[in-house]
Amino acid sequence: MLLAGRYGEWEYYNSDHAFLAGRKTAEAARDFLEALAAQAKSA
């Protein structure tokens, strides 16, 4: 589970930071899925 946003990070910030936090988490999810796919390919 990847946590993001003001509740997920338990941080006070404005919406510009919330957008960036969402993008960063989406990129982390993509990287994780790509690594998983590469691992499955090599197995």
* Residue spans of alpha helices (H) in 1-43: 5-9, 15-42
Q: Which of 1, 16, 39, 43 binds ligand FAD (CB under 6 A)?
A: 16
Check if the beta carbon of residue 43 is closer than 8 Å to that of residue 25: no
14 binds ligand FAD (CB under 6 A): yes
Residue nearer to ligand FAD on the CB measure, 13 or 32? 13
Mapping DSSP to helix (H, G, I), strand (E, B) and coil, where does residue 4 land? coil
15 binds ligand FAD (CB under 6 A): yes
Residue nearer to ligand FAD on the CB measure, 20 or 36? 20
